[in-house]
Homo-oligomer: A and B are copies of this chain.
Amino acid sequence: MLGHLLRPEIEEIIRSGDLRSLRFALEDLSPAELADALEDLPPERSAIIFRVLPRPTAAAVFEFLPHWAQEEILRALGDVETAQILNAMSPDDRTRLLEELPAEATKRLLEMLSTDQLQIAQRLLGYPEDSVGRRMTPNYVAVQQHWNVGQVLAYARKHASHSETLGVLYVIDPAGKLVDDVRIADVLMAEDSRPVDSLLDHTFVSLKATDDQEAAVAAFLRSDRREALPVTDSENVLVGIVTSDDIMDVAEEEATEDIHKMGGSEALDEPYLQIAFRRMVKKRAGWLVILFLGEMLTATAMAHFEEEIAKAVVLALFVPLIISSGGNSGSQAATLVIRAMAIGEVRIADWWRVMRREIASGLALGTILGSIGFLRVTVWSAFSSIYGPHWFFIALTVGVSLIGVVLWGTLSGSMLPFVLRRLGFDPATSSAPFVATLVDVTGLVIYFSIAAFILQGKLL
């Protein structure tokens, strides 16, 4: 917020070329505020600021920038400054940047790293995409199980500067296996001579480096560690930690992806205002075309009933109302189930409980909409002759069709996410528009079949 207020002032100073004033003006801003101020500046100007900043600050500010801004600035900076920033960055934030870049650029940047940092970066990038390993940092404090509190504190004080966080220390055995974690608070309160082992409760939540990053979100919410969670390899050896800010980033990103998919689009994976127009249209067109091709079946279905429509044009009038009611109830049910699955409230084994609930919901909701539909035709007919002499049977057709279509929409909307997950797809792909399309086509068949049954010998 502050950043946006300061921008004109900073721009003015940069334009004047007065680097001393610039350094002075920047001194009182936090890295986050500076990043805010830089985000909307043209990259050449941001590059000037990065040259003026003290090195550790430069890296801290850089970490707060979104990827697209990071990429722009790296292009504007020289190799020396780029190398300085890359080497000073937190390993987890660096992985995030490197994995977003094209392979060519990643290779070029890796070459700028020192031997130590290169090793760390390559190890983290070696984990699968979207795994916990990719979000990990090796900057934590691990202490030996057989030390006493005095030794632990002395070690922690010495290594605090390399640690992302110090609220929790990790206790390992001589083989490096994770034994437990302990709050710095508990260590501080204990006598120096007490063995750290005696402070442990041997209950801790840890992650596997190869776990999907979504697991980190769930684990974090189930643990009482507020800063970070430890990460181990398959042998239970401690290999890193994942900090809570990265976990929250993951949660926000996963929610955004799900929401995009549920809205009937591929996940954009970039901010709406930053993504290149061509890329955005491509991601949106794909699903729209698939839905369109599916929806073409409605024209085929309608053609099948062309004779009925020609005999009773009045039937056509209710087509949009009926199919959209099915679509709406379907997207509603799909949305509720997809989200419940995403946050772990509903598991695949719950499909039967969900189905029973949705049959009941579908009947209840269908009856409500069906009654309104029936009344609408009845009341209109009382004041006009728009629906002709058979208005009662038309009202009945509309009412019964609505019950059937809403029940069907609710049921298919709620079951599709289970089917998709079962088949190994992301349930969020059963977007509202996807369910709506599915229900549109079948809704037409339901409607015209019920009409044929009720209106036979009358209008048809």
Contact = CB atoms under 8 A, between A and B. Distances in A.
Interface of A: 28-33, 36, 60, 64, 153, 156-157, 160-161, 163-168, 183-186, 188-189, 201-205, 217, 220-224, 226-228, 243-245, 247-249, 251-252, 255-256, 258-260, 262-265, 268, 271-273, 277, 280-281, 284-285, 287-289, 291-293, 295-296, 298-299, 302-303, 306, 309-310, 313-314, 316-321, 323-325, 327-329, 331-332, 334-340, 343, 345-346, 350, 353-354, 357, 360-361, 364-365, 368-369, 372-373, 376, 386, 406, 432-433, 436-437, 440, 444
A335 B273 contact: no
A298 B324 contact: yes
Contacts of A224: 31-32, 60, 245
Report how many copies the assembly holds.
2
B167 A227 contact: yes
Nearest to A189: B160
Contacts of A189: 157, 160-161
Contact of A281 (B166, B302, B338, B364): B364
Given A272-B337, A281-B364, A288-B325, 4 more contacts: A165-B167, A262-B335, A302-B317, A320-B323
Contacts of A280: 357, 361
B265 A245 contact: no
A23 to B, nearest CB: 15
A441 to B, nearest CB: 8
Nearest to A345: B271
B444 A320 contact: yes
B285 A364 contact: yes
8 contacts: A30-B205, A160-B189, A260-B336, A273-B354, A280-B361, A296-B376, A298-B321, A328-B433
A255 B262 CA distance: 13
Contacts of A188: 153, 156-157, 160, 166
Question: What are the 8 A-B residue pairs with the smallest beta carbon separation, nearest first?
Answer: A263-B335, A167-B167, A30-B203, A160-B185, A298-B320, A166-B185, A272-B340, A255-B255
A156 B32 CA distance: 28
Contacts of A317: 299, 302-303, 306
B313 A306 contact: yes
B33 A203 contact: yes
Given A160-B186, A369-B292, A433-B432, A272 B227 contact: no
Contact of A365 (B153, B285, B360, B440): B285
A361 B281 contact: yes
Contacts of A160: 185-186, 188-189
A78 B376 CA distance: 54
Contacts of A357: 273, 277, 280
A449 to B, nearest CB: 16
A332 to B, nearest CB: 5
A221 B245 contact: yes
Nearest to A64: B222
A165 B321 contact: no
Contact of A436 (B60, B260, B436): B436
Contact of A329 (B288, B320, B360): B288
Nearest to A293: B372
A244 B340 CA distance: 22
B203 A29 contact: yes
Contact of A258 (B259, B292, B372): B259
Given A256-B343, A319-B320, A346-B272, A265 B335 contact: yes
Nearest to A338: B259
A272 B167 contact: no
Contacts of A163: 185
Contacts of A386: 303
Contact of A331 (B222, B303, B433): B433
Contact of A310 (B167, B203, B313): B313
Contacts of A376: 296, 299
Contact of A316 (B249, B319, B437): B319
